[in-house]
């Protein structure tokens, strides 16, 4: 089987990282570069990746995102974000805020492709990952000081956070796959 297909099929979301063991600089560079090679509409490449390895800043984003989540209209999100023990990034020593340029034609599609590239690159390097969208509730409320603190450039919209690190345990279970996902017309 092709190595890319193997990586796609073996990647699992990790929710338990080794908090005190940072990924190597070279690994982070490869992950970010993989994101930069993603396809985009009209080759606009509208993304900006802010990698944060500062524990205090990661913890601050966790707290701010949970506060925003408590005000959500969704009861499940409210309950989850009210859990004082919850770490939205599961102890990951590295997070990447994925942002897009506000004027782009297909920004969500473009940064989603870039994000998937980064998740797969991490898997190929035996680095665990987790895609986190709950932080969007906080991102929509960010003030200019917070944008600067979290490294979000002007005219960019922070979209999601990807968490990276070495796993505490290797996730082995294979989730059930949708069996009615396609139709082939010839």
The string of pLDDT tens digits covering residues 24-79 is: 999 999 999 999 999 999 999 999 999 999 999 999 999 999 999 999 888 999 99
Average pLDDT along the chain: 93
**151 pLDDT above the threshold of 60:** yes
What are the structural domain ranges in the chain? 28-165
* pLDDT the model gives residue 137: 86
CATH homologous superfamily of 28-165: NADH Oxidase (3.40.109.10)
Q: What is the value of pTM for the model shown?
A: 0.93
Secondary structure (DSSP) of 71-140: T-S-HHHHHHHT-TT--TTTT-SEEEEEEEETT-SSHHHHHHHHHHHHHHHHHHTT-EEEEE-TTHHHHT
Per the CB < 8 A criterion, the answer to whether 51 and 98 are in contact is no
């Amino acid at each position: 089987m092709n190595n890319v297909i193997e990586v796609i099929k073996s990647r699992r979301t990790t929710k338990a990282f080794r908090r005190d063991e940072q990924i190597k600089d070279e690994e982070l560079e490869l992950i970010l570069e993989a994101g930069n090679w993603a396809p985009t509409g009209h080759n606009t490449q509208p993304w900006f990746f802010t990698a944060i390895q500062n524990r205090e800043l990661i913890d601050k984003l966790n707290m701010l995102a949970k506060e925003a989540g408590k005000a959500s209209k969704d009861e499940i999100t409210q309950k989850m974000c009210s859990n004082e023990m919850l770490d939205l990034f599961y102890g990951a020593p590295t997070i990447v805020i994925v942002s897009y340029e506000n004027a782009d034609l297909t920004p969500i599609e473009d940064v989603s492709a870039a994000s998937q590239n980064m998740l797969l690159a991490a898997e190929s390097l035996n680095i665990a990952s987790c895609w986190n969208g709950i932080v969007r509730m906080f991102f929509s409320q960010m003030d200019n000081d917070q944008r600067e603190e979290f490294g979000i450039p002007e005219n960019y919209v922070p979209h999601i956070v990807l968490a990276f690190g070495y796993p505490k345990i290797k996730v082995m279970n294979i989730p059930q796959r949708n069996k009615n996902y396609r139709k082939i017309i010839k």
